[in-house]
């Protein structure tokens, strides 16, 4: 967002309460918006970015509020000690709850948080020491350097400083190494694991982060109200926070403030308006929220903030980042030691994969040496991609052994295999379409630096970040995408997206590179360029295993070929040997005695119906 606009907004927020004619009512209203913004900010990260839904945020607000309420009244602690204990408790509970429910599939977190929210609500309401449903009153005000924050106007400053700092921290976090991992949680889980990113770990992290923000909001609330009771921490408030996140735009930190402000103001207005209209004091506003939610999901699925942003862009308030200069020079990242040429890098022995009754990979064996490009070819459905998935740990093998540089891979998880130096691309491109090309590639270099959430939120990670981005830019330059660094990855042509995946795999500094149909969708020139890059990598000692249907490309580039059909290895050898192998001709051409090169450039349509013709078509 434009800095000037930000300064204007902050200045306006700052002077508003100081003006004596500002009604106290406004200040209270803004205070509530600020308190909600903190909670919703957590949901932006958790739900909007991470794709996880929690119905327990109000309960975390309750922990923050009740901990400080009890400790400062019954134990005469200072509010700061109350905050520290509240955060510690929240951390422990959120971590435990997250660790238990996040390992399980999608629905367990929402259900777990509902159960947790209800349980805590009734606990607050039934515990004698917490004053049951009457709650706790007579809470002291917060003191900073002897200055008490008693009035709504002074609390206003405290609340909004917390909101702005939390927004800043969250924005910093999203724009960092751990932030990229968090942004890949929603759509890129499998891919991210293949780059060594611990998805379950990051899910727990954002769950805890969101809970801590809610706890902070509760602490401020307790000392603003000077009293707490269970009702604001019930399930309906958790749902309201989710409303705010969705309406505001759950993908952006500004969405949190916009959503909180909109829903709060609307609720306020409706509460004073509806009793006149319906002549009753029932909570009719919920019906309106329901309708609003349907409308938002129908017409502005990403919430209101992206709309405001688009209008802001039209008015020149939002800068176009696409023409920004490339990232600054930075120290190169340390490189893994490459094995000496012709060392045995990968050995696949009798690897088998069954999907129910289907034998997708039938006791396949082959080996690959350093500085070699090996092709894995065969008709569609031959089991090539499955073999890739077995090597990279995406799928567990039914039996057999995969050894990489003296390490057994077949018992490891994808992310541990990535750590050893195996990089890959995917047959069905897996990238984060709304992230920039540069950031997508930087995701590949995740394991080469270690900056964490705290250092990212505090912006102490800039040196590391510069190194990662520089590395990403170097790899993009190398594969010929140096001109599209800041383009959204989803805007690239499919062939370019495949090339992006190669750059991302290279950013991981692999010893072994697995490329699944890298040249599909490329034009002739681009294929030649790709072949040049791959030969250069081979000369640098990289080992490459590639699946490709373009026979010209494969025959010219590879040193060794393995041919599969129906899961079984039918031939192996140099391209010359394989081309003349009768079993290969049989597999590709259904027994027609012809040169395989002709099949490669043959005009067979991929949609031809007979099995033999299908095979021919798939070669082209
Ligand atoms: P290729 O990459 O050589 O075209 P694949 O490895 O994708 O072939 O597929 C090999 C066979 O295994 C195909 O028959 C395919 O339908 C089947 N297959 C692949 N993945 C799965 C899966 N996850 N579940 C069941 N069958 C699968
Ligand atoms: Mg495949």
Residues 74 and 219 in one domain: yes
Residues 230 and 349 in one domain: no
From the CB of residue 356, how many other CB atoms can be counted at a distance below 10 Å? 6
Alpha-carbon distance of 14 to 2, in angstroms, equals 19
**Beta-carbon-side half-sphere exposure of residue 355 (alpha carbons within 13 Å):** 10
Q: Is the CB of 159 under 6 A from ligand 1?
A: no
Q: Is the CB of 396 under 6 A from ligand 1?
A: no
**Both tokens assigned to 142:** 């917060």
Determine if residue 22 is left, alpha or beta; phi over 0 gives left, psi from -120 to 50 gives alpha, anything else beta.
beta
Q: What ligand 1 atom has the least distance to the C-alpha of 547?
A: 2
Q: Which ligand neighbours the alpha carbon of 360 most closely? A: 1
Burial 35-44 (b: 16+ CB within 10 A, else e): bbbbbbbbbb
Q: What ligand 1 atom has the least distance to the C-alpha of 387?
A: 6
Q: What is the DSSP letter of 334?
A: P
Alpha-carbon distance of 423 to 201, in angstroms, equals 21
Could you tell me the residue range of the domain that residue 140 belongs to? 29-234
Instruction: Determine the distance separating the centroid of ligand 2 and the alpha carbon of 362, expressed in angstroms.
Output: 16
Instruction: Determine the distance separating the centroid of ligand 2 and the alpha carbon of 437, expressed in angstroms.
Output: 24
Domain boundary among 203, 234, 265: 234
Q: Is residue 39 part of a domain?
A: yes
The residue contributing the CA closest to ligand 1 atom 17 is 360
Instruction: Determine the distance separating the centroid of ligand 1 and the alpha carbon of 364, expressed in angstroms.
Output: 15
| Cβ(160)–Cβ(256) below 8 Å | no
Q: Is residue 52 part of a domain?
A: yes
Q: 564 pairs with which residues across the strands?
A: 569
Q: Is residue 211 part of a domain?
A: yes
Relative to beta strand 373-377, strand 560-565 is parallel
Q: Is residue 248 part of a domain?
A: no
**Both tokens assigned to 520:** 């599909």
Which of 250, 296, 233, 193 shows the shortest CA–CA distance to 41?
250
The residue contributing the CA closest to ligand 1 atom 18 is 360
Q: Is residue 244 part of a domain?
A: no
Rg of the chain on CA atoms, in Å: 29
Q: Is residue 369 part of a domain?
A: yes
As a whole number of Å, the end-to-end CA separation of the chain is 48
From the CB of residue 275, how many other CB atoms can be counted at a distance below 10 Å? 13
How is the chain split among helix, strand and coil, in percent rounded to 5? Answer: 55, 10, 30
Among 386, 396, 397, 614, the mutation site with the greatest number of ligand 1 atoms within 8 A of its Cβ is 386
**Beta-carbon-side half-sphere exposure of residue 240 (alpha carbons within 13 Å):** 23
Q: What ligand 1 atom has the least distance to the C-alpha of 384?
A: 3
Instruction: Determine the distance separating the centroid of ligand 2 and the alpha carbon of 367, expressed in angstroms.
Output: 20
Q: How many helices (H) and strands (E) does the chain have?
A: 25, 14
pLDDT at 616: 37
pLDDT at 607: 37
Average pLDDT, consecutive stretches of 10 residues, N- to C-terminus, the chain (620 residues): 75 82 88 97 94 94 97 93 97 93 79 91 92 91 87 92 95 96 88 93 96 98 95 93 90 91 90 79 77 85 84 70 81 88 92 95 95 94 95 95 94 94 95 94 96 95 95 95 94 93 96 94 91 93 94 93 94 91 80 44 37 37
Alpha-carbon distance of 427 to 546, in angstroms, equals 11
**Both tokens assigned to 100:** 């238990």
Residues 410 and 536 in one domain: yes
Q: Is residue 275 part of a domain?
A: no
Q: Is the CB of 378 under 6 A from ligand 1?
A: yes
pLDDT at 1: 54
| Cβ(286)–Cβ(293) below 8 Å | no
pLDDT at 317: 62
Domain boundary among 216, 234, 252: 234
Domain boundary among 204, 234, 264: 234
pLDDT at 17: 81
Alpha-carbon distance of 84 to 158, in angstroms, equals 17
Residue 605 sits in a domain whose CATH number is 3.40.50.300
Instruction: Determine the distance separating the centroid of ligand 2 and the alpha carbon of 182, expressed in angstroms.
Output: 28
Q: Is residue 307 part of a domain?
A: no
**Beta-carbon-side half-sphere exposure of residue 322 (alpha carbons within 13 Å):** 8
Instruction: Determine the distance separating the centroid of ligand 1 and the alpha carbon of 382, expressed in angstroms.
Output: 8
For helices 285-299 and 235-248, angle between their N-to-C axes, nearest 10 degrees? 30
Instruction: Determine the distance separating the centroid of ligand 2 and the alpha carbon of 439, expressed in angstroms.
Output: 26
Q: Is the CB of 360 under 6 A from ligand 1?
A: yes
Alpha-carbon distance of 512 to 516, in angstroms, equals 13
Residues 348 and 223 in one domain: no
| Cβ(209)–Cβ(174) below 8 Å | no
Residues 230 and 369 in one domain: no
Alpha-carbon distance of 392 to 422, in angstroms, equals 7
**Beta-carbon-side half-sphere exposure of residue 609 (alpha carbons within 13 Å):** 0
The count of structural domains within the chain is: 2
Q: What ligand 1 atom has the least distance to the C-alpha of 388?
A: 6
Instruction: Determine the distance separating the centroid of ligand 1 and the alpha carbon of 360, expressed in angstroms.
Output: 6
pTM of the model: 0.90
Alpha-carbon distance of 266 to 579, in angstroms, equals 72
């Amino acid at each position: 967002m434009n800095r000037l606009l930000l300064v204007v907004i902050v200045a306006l927020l700052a002077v508003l309460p100081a003006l004596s004619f500002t009604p106290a009512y406004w200040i209270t209203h803004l205070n509530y918006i600020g308190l909600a913004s903190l909670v919703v900010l957590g949901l932006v990260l958790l739900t909007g970015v991470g794709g996880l839904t929690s119905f327990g945020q109000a309960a975390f607000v309750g922990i923050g509020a009740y901990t400080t309420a009890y400790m400062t009244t019954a134990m005469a602690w200072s509010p700061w000690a109350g905050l520290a204990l509240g955060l510690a408790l929240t951390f422990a509970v959120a971590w435990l709850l997250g660790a238990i429910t996040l390992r399980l599939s999608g629905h367990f977190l929402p259900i777990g948080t509902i159960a947790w929210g209800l349980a805590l609500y009734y606990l607050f309401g039934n515990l004698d020491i917490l004053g049951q449903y009457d709650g706790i009153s007579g809470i002291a005000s917060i003191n900073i350097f002897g200055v008490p924050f008693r009035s709504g106007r002074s609390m206003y400053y405290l609340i909004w400083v917390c909101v702005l700092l939390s927004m800043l921290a969250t924005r910093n976090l999203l724009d960092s190494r751990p932030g990229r991992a968090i942004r890949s949680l929603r759509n890129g889980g499998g891919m991210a694991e293949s780059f060594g990113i611990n998805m379950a770990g990051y899910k727990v992290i954002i769950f805890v982060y969101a809970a801590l923000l809610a706890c902070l909001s509760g602490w401020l609330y307790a000392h603003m109200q000077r009293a707490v009771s269970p009702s604001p921490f019930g399930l309906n408030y958790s749902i309201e926070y989710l409303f705010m996140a969705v309406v505001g735009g759950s993908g952006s930190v500004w969405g949190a403030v916009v959503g909180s402000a909109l829903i709060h103001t609307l609720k306020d207005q409706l509460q004073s308006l509806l009793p006149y209209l319906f002549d009753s004091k029932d909570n009719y506003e919920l019906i309106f929220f329901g309708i609003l939610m349907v409308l938002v999901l129908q017409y502005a699925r990403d919430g209101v903030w992206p709309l405001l942003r688009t209008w802001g862009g039209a008015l020149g308030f939002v800068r176009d980042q696409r023409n920004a200069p490339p990232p600054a020079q930075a120290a190169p990242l340390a490189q893994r030691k490459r094995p000496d040429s012709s060392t045995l890098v990968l050995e696949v022995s009798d690897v088998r994969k069954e999907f129910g009754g289907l034998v997708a990979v039938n006791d396949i064996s082959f080996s690959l040496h350093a500085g070699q490009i090996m092709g894995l070819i065969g008709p569609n459905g031959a089991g090539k991609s499955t073999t890739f998935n077995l090597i990279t740990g995406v799928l567990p093998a039914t039996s057999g052994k995969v050894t990489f540089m003296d390490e057994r891979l077949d018992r490891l998880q994808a992310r541990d295999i990535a750590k050893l130096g195996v990089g890959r691309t995917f047959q069905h491109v897996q990238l984060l379409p709304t992230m920039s090309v540069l950031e997508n590639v930087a995701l590949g270099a995740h394991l080469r630096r270690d900056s964490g959430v705290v250092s990212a939120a505090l912006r102490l990670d800039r040196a590391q970040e510069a190194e990662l981005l520089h590395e990403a830019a170097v790899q993009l330059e190398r594969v010929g995408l140096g001109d599209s660094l800041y383009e959204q990855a989803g805007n690239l042509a499919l062939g370019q997206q495949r090339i992006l995946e190669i750059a991302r795999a290279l950013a991981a500094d692999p010893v072994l590179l697995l490329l699944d149909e890298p040249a599909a969708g490329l034009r002739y020139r681009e294929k030649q360029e790709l072949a040049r890059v791959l030969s250069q990598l081979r000369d640098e000692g990289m080992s490459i295993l590639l699946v490709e249907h373009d026979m010209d490309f494969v025959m010219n580039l590879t040193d060794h070929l393995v041919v599969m059909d129906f899961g079984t290895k039918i031939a192996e050898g140099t391209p010359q040997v394989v081309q003349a192998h009768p079993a290969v001709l049989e597999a590709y051409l259904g027994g027609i005695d012809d040169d395989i090169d002709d099949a490669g450039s043959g005009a067979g349509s991929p949609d031809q119906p007979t099995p033999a013709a299908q095979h021919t078509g798939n070669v082209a």
